[in-house]
């Protein structure tokens, strides 16, 4: 049985802010729609093959994996027994020190 994907509030807020930014910046929703399409495709791949993406942060308590979206964005997620949680949506052009695992 496949696990459900849950977005952490901070990840969802960053994702929605990114979509809003590109709508305002481009005066069009075309690029934002492309991001949405790619994120949805990534979610399907994560559900199907949750362990296929590389671990980028690991402690005894957690293991964070990363999938790249359109080269410019990353989804960071953690696998739990009952769900997969998107913990960060990140613009790869941003300062990596903003990532706090």
pLDDT exceeds 70 at position 78? yes
CATH 3.30.2310.20 assigned to 4-90 = yes
Tell me what percent of the residues of the chain surpass a pLDDT of 90: 90
What's the CA dihedral at 73, 32, 85, 96 to 10 degrees? 30
pLDDT single digits (tens) 15-24: 999 999 999 9
Where are the domains positioned within the chain? 4-90
**What pTM value is reported for the model?**
0.91
Query: pLDDT confidence of 84, banded at 50, 70, 90?
Result: very high
């Amino acid at each position: 049985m496949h696990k459900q994907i849950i977005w952490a509030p901070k990840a969802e807020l960053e994702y929605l802010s990114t979509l809003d930014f590109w709508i305002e910046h481009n005066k069009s929703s075309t690029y934002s729609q492309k991001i949405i399409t790619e994120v949805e495709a990534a979610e399907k791949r994560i559900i199907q093959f949750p362990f296929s993406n590389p671990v980028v942060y690991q402690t005894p308590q957690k293991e964070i994996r990363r999938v790249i979206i359109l080269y410019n964005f990353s989804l960071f997620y953690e696998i739990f027994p009952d769900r997969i949680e998107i913990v960060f949506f990140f613009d790869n052009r941003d300062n990596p020190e903003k990532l706090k695992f």
